Structure 1
Amino acid sequence: MPDVAQIISAFNAGRDPERLAMKYKAMRGSPFVFLRGTCHLFYERLPRDKVLDNAPPVWICGDMHLENFGSYKADNRLIYFDNNDFDEACLAPGLYELVRLLTSVLVGASALKLSRAQALALCHTAVDAYGAALAFGKARWIETETAVGMVRDLFDGLASRTRIAHLDRRTTLKSKARMLKVDGKKALPVSDERRAAVTGFMNRFAASEANPDFYRILDVARRIAGTGSLGVDRYVILVEGKGSPDGNYLIDLKEALPSSVAPHVGTPQPKWRSEAERVVDIQRRNQAVSQAFLHAVDFNQRSYVLRSLQPSEDRVALSDWDGKLSRLEAVINSMAELSAWAHLRSGGRQKSSIADDLIAFGNRRDWQAPLIELATQCAAQVAADWKTYSEAYDRGAFDLPVKA
């Protein structure tokens, strides 16, 4: 029997202890947060099943779950709703993606106050929507005019929020100059050495851009965001943008680590120049329009992804389903369709399946029920692993030395 605590500790070795302690504490909170924080463990524990391995190979995001979808401003300055996390992206049978989404529905049911029957109904919604979108064979996208239900509610809320308000939430304004809020919730301080290193990197990056002044750095802090990636080297950077103080922009700089999914799939992976190139290239292939400022860069002799900062609040408030299952069904339907559209959009690239193969798979009716059954097994495994983790956490197995 594998030692769950040892697997988790080994995987997270070398991360920033201050943020890693936050991750471990959050994972103790619920099985769903534990699922979010242990993508590597999920795929290590995933049974090798022919229903998975017989699915066509596609470019997957790798960490598909209910909270890895959100809105973002694209490089055409329009706002879209889509999958927004590609850290674990790789080439794999498409149902590796979907089984994690279904598992997240089942594991998250308790937090959403869903009955078992309701959670299973949502799983059926997801597999039906994914299959139908593949069978239709045309990739689409979700923007303001095409959004429905709670996704449309998210867009409506975004319309009333200004970029200045976003800056005000993350910065303080003194004498017409902004500085990042280092509040221990969204950001932590950086050392003088790290500040100088990030500033030097941004100066070099800016020199290669058409408008170098846009990227002039005003402030930098260690960023706190997500669950699975907490502890990975990551920064929030305040730049001049279109002019101080209200034209400033927030940039995210995050180290790209190897996909924790790829070792657990039998699909041969292409050679990438860097892990950041893998993340950025697959994100560009899968999204209808790429996120603003998205770049694969080298910093500190390692590989990083540079992109616009995406506020964590720009996600659907799933808890607002108000007891109306149809509201959740519409969101799950959208998530499953987005997954299928991403697979169609990126088809035929570096040995991923062409549209004809995906259309044929979408028309098949032999994988849906076995996939849901497999997801129920995965959900039970996650619950058992979380219990084991919680006992180890409570014994102090995950205590870390954190600097004052």
Structure 2
Amino acid sequence: MSPKNLPTQPDQRQEILARRRNHKMAESAHAYVRGSTVKFYEWLEESGGRIPDGPPVWICGDCHVGNLGPVANAKGRIGIQIRDVDQTVIGNPAHDLIRLGLSLATAARGSDLPGVTTALMLEQMIEGYMMTLDGELGGDAVRKKPSVVRVGMREAIGRTWKHLARDRIKDIRPSIPLGKRFWPLTDDERAEVEELFRKDQVRRLVTALHSRDDNDWIELLDAAYWVKGCSSLGRLRIAVLLGVGEGHYDEGGLSLIDIKEAVQAAAPRVSRTGMPRDNAERVVAGAENLSPHLGDRMRPARLLDRAVFLRELLPQDIKLDFDHLTREEATHVAFFLAAVVGKAHARQMDEATRRSWRGELARNRTKSLDAPSWLWSSIVDLIVGHEAAYLEHCRRYAERPDA
């Protein structure tokens, strides 16, 4: 798609975005899992299985393996945390466990691992999660990272602005090149973005990183509609390139801001809680509780009469590669990632609540499976429904070889 043929109006974007999203979800069964959050909760409700009512805490709501990985905070410190909280709500932590289990199961199938590996992964997943409920909130077992995580962490630590620019905008010059990934904004959208960055709360987000001064001058260098993600395709999403302070064309003075529309979460929420009603405020509050590194770099706002949240993208925020796992690696990954999720949940609970929730998870185990029977049956049911829906999706939307 050449720059001359790019959509310039919001109503022109939707048909193209829907087509791209459908094709992307048809690429693999795991891609379909990542893009079908709403369907996940529909399938879960239809399955009729008994899921325990865990203590009400902020949950990710879309806890698949792609949403866990290296995240840097405002001071540059890197940790493995939840890296996407669009679906976050105060809800049942069991939903994050089931979503993660389904994602791990499809990742195992994508790596051509036998079915018994899925059972072992679920056992290790519960083991890693429950360990964080013992009051350790970490420990030597969690610090022994799987090789795929160690590789990702080494890569994250060594990354600079140039890596971020090449990955995100395919250009290290202070501009956003229009094309397949970026489309032009309308005049009204551009004017609204410029007005947004005049507000003090947004300025403070930009100056919070890299020891910038609160009074640093901020210049909007470029902005474009961002065609990114799978589940987010079709929502308002804008990339903004800023220059900050004197000599802002240098690496330290450039800032890439992601503006993303916040919509109603698909994950069920617990009633009568203090969860914000505004969707952008909900997302930021969830991030602050689940993923402090990420929440430290986010702000809610309004743009074009929509709830949006902003975050400055950092070079260290990368996805981990779970496409090719050995059996040993798969079980290690399951343990480690579940411990990351468990730590995010457990930090919101007092000791008595953690002990009670751990006791509930320890129940309903069988001699043949050292994991709760409700977890196993839920994931088996979900895989069956997911496989049928994925094949039907491919029949409708995957490109045929002769097309």
Q: Structure 2 CA distance, aligned partners of 1:378 and 1:356?
A: 29
How far residue 60 of structure 1 moved from its aligned partner, in angstroms, is 0.9
Residue 253 of structure 1 corresponds to 259
TM-superposed deviation, 1:69: 0.9
Taking a change above 3 Å as real, the CA distance of residues 283 and 273 of structure 1, as seen in their structure-2 partners, is same
Q: For 1:76 and 1:384, how far apart are their aligned partners in 2?
A: 46
Alignment correspondent of 1:328: 330
Q: How far does the alpha carbon of each residue in 1:302-340 deviate from its partner, in whole angstroms, 9 at most, with x for none?
A: 21111122669812212353xx32223222212100111
Cα pair distance change 1:146/1:311, threshold 3 Å: same
Partner of residue 20, structure 1: 18
The answer on whether the counterparts of 1:171 and 1:178 sit within 8 Å (CA) in structure 2 is no
User: 1:292: Cα distance to partner?
Assistant: 4.9
From 194, 197, 210, give the equivalent of 2:189.
194
For 2:334, give the aligned amino acid. I
> Which residue does 1:229 correspond to in 2?
232
Number of the residue aligned with 1:118: 117
CA distance in 1 between counterparts of 2:285 and 2:345 reads: 14
Q: Distance in 2 between matches of 1:188 and 1:302?
A: 19
Q: 1:249 to 1:34 in 2, by over 3 A?
A: same
Partner of 2:249: 244
* Equivalent pairs, count: 371
Structure 2: distance between partners of 1:310 and 1:22: 26
Query: Is the contact between residue 220 and residue 243 of structure 2 (CA under 8 Å) also seen in structure 1?
Result: yes
Which residue of the other structure, out of 340, 344, 347, is the alignment partner of 2:346? 344
- Quick check: 1:88 aligned with 2:87? yes
What's the CA shift for 1:145? 7.5
Task: Please give the secondary structure, in 2, of the residue aligned with 1:240.
Answer: strand
User: Where does residue 381 of structure 1 map in the other structure?
Assistant: 385
Distance 1:257 1:137, change over 3 A: same
Inter-partner Cα distance in structure 1 for 2:54 and 2:30: 26
Letter in 2 for 1:180: I
Q: 1:203 to 1:20 in 2, by over 3 A?
A: farther
Normalised to the residue count of structure 2, the TM-score between the two structures is 0.82
Kindly provide the amino acid, as one letter, of the partner of residue 387 in structure 2. A
In the alignment, the residues of structure 2 paired with residue 88 and residue 200 of structure 1 have an alpha-carbon distance, to the nearest angstrom, of 28
Gaps of 5+ in 1: 1-12, 397-404
Q: What is aligned with 2:177? A: 181
Q: Which sections of structure 2, spanning at least 5 residues, go unmatched?
A: 1-10, 208-213, 366-370
Scaled by the length of structure 1, the TM-score of the pair is: 0.82
Distance in 2 separating the partners of 1:141 and 1:224: 40
Residue 260 of structure 1 deviates from its aligned partner by 1.0
CA distance 1:165–1:89, change in 2 (3 Å):
closer
CA distance in 1, matches of 2:344, 2:94: 13
Deviation at 1:38, TM superposition (A): 1.3
Equivalent runs, 1:102-181 vs 2, <5 Å: 102-134=101-133, 136-140=134-138, 147-169=145-167, 170=169, 172=171, 178-181=174-177
- Partners of 1:273 and 1:38 in 2: CA distance: 24
Kindly report which structure 2 residues correspond to 1:45-124, keeping only aligned pairs within 5 A, or say none.
Answer: 45-47=43-45, 49=48, 51-124=50-123
User: 387-396 or 55-64, which moves further after superposition?
Assistant: 387-396
Structure 2 letter corresponding to 1:216? E
CA distance in 2, matches of 1:274, 1:127: 33
> Identity over aligned residues, as a percent?
21
After TM superposition, list the pairs within 5 Å mapping 1:172-321 onto structure 2. Answer: 172=171, 178-185=174-181, 187-205=182-200, 209=204, 211=214, 213=216, 215-241=218-244, 243-247=248-252, 248-262=254-268, 267-309=271-313, 314-321=318-325
CA-to-aligned-CA distance 1:103-149 (integer Å, 9 cap, x gap): 11222333222222222221221122112222x1243499x976442
Judge conservation of contact 2:189–2:304 (CA < 8 Å) in 1. Answer: no
State the secondary structure of the residue aligned to 1:314. coil
CA distance, structure 1, for counterparts of residue 102 and residue 110 of structure 2:
14
Structure 1 contact 137–359 (Cα < 8 Å) conserved: no
Secondary structure in 1 matching 2:307: strand
